[in-house]
Structure 1
Amino acid sequence: MAFYKKAQMKVNGKWYPKSVLVVSPATTEQVAKRIAAESTVSPADVQAVLIALGGVLGDFMAQGRSVKLDGIGSFYFTAVTTKNGVDKPEDVNATLIRGIRVRFLPETRYRGAGKGRVSTRGLSDVNIDWEEWKGDEKASKGKKEKEKEHTEP
């Protein structure tokens, strides 16, 4: 069950459903136990792999490569640059890069051909039952956690 709340956008004054995270994130241990239950690998082995995954992804991406994980999608770095830019191409250099972002594209699968071709995205191509959230988000998230919400008008 996924939850949404009613949110008014400041830009246009219109109302939209806004997804709400109401429970703490799934932990590495919980994910490892679930994967182990659906495979022949022990929870400890799965957890060890998941813990190593972040560093391995970072190393490959630092080499200028993207990383594609079957059934999940692709991860890659993008540069965060200064807002003003420069006037001439010869003035472009690495000092304009202020940081990096990790980007993610869910895996896309295609069925059919021609005009009947249909694409589906991994991870997001699931049946979700949406229900309006009536509870107190902040209490359920904890005092120190920031509100993490996503809007797709």
Structure 2
Amino acid sequence: MQDPFKGFNDDDNNNNGNGPQGLPLPPNYATVVNPQTGNMRIAKVGFAWIAFIFPVIPPIFRGDWYNLLCIMGVNAGVQMIVQMSVSASSMVEVLGFIQLGLQFLWGAIYNMMYFKHLFNRGFVPADERSKDLLTRAHYWNPKNAAK
């Protein structure tokens, strides 16, 4: 199969790793596996654009119920605090700015939250490329993994 990601930090040695069944992975995707169950997850490392636009969609499609409840809880808590502390005349503007800030927050940290939750459930990087990518992005700490 021809590699569609040629030219994206890849060379003839297939530095971008192999996904399931030998399919190529984009250079910013990491693979993690649970050694006890054999389950494998592949996800992007970095800013989550879908989580920025629609914060609840990625956790739903990934089956990440823990982080979905975290996102919904933080959003609901912030909205309740703002509604209790801001006058009704400026409510729309303040909620708009706060919601935009929360969307930037979820876009910036959702993928990290997802990987860290997987690591707490026993997943580890599947290969050296994924381990290096997750370490450079500060998602994976090899010192904590040895404990």
TM-score (norm 1): 0.29
Which has the larger helix fraction?
A: 2
Which has the larger strand fraction?
A: 1
Greater CA radius of gyration, 1 or 2? Answer: 1
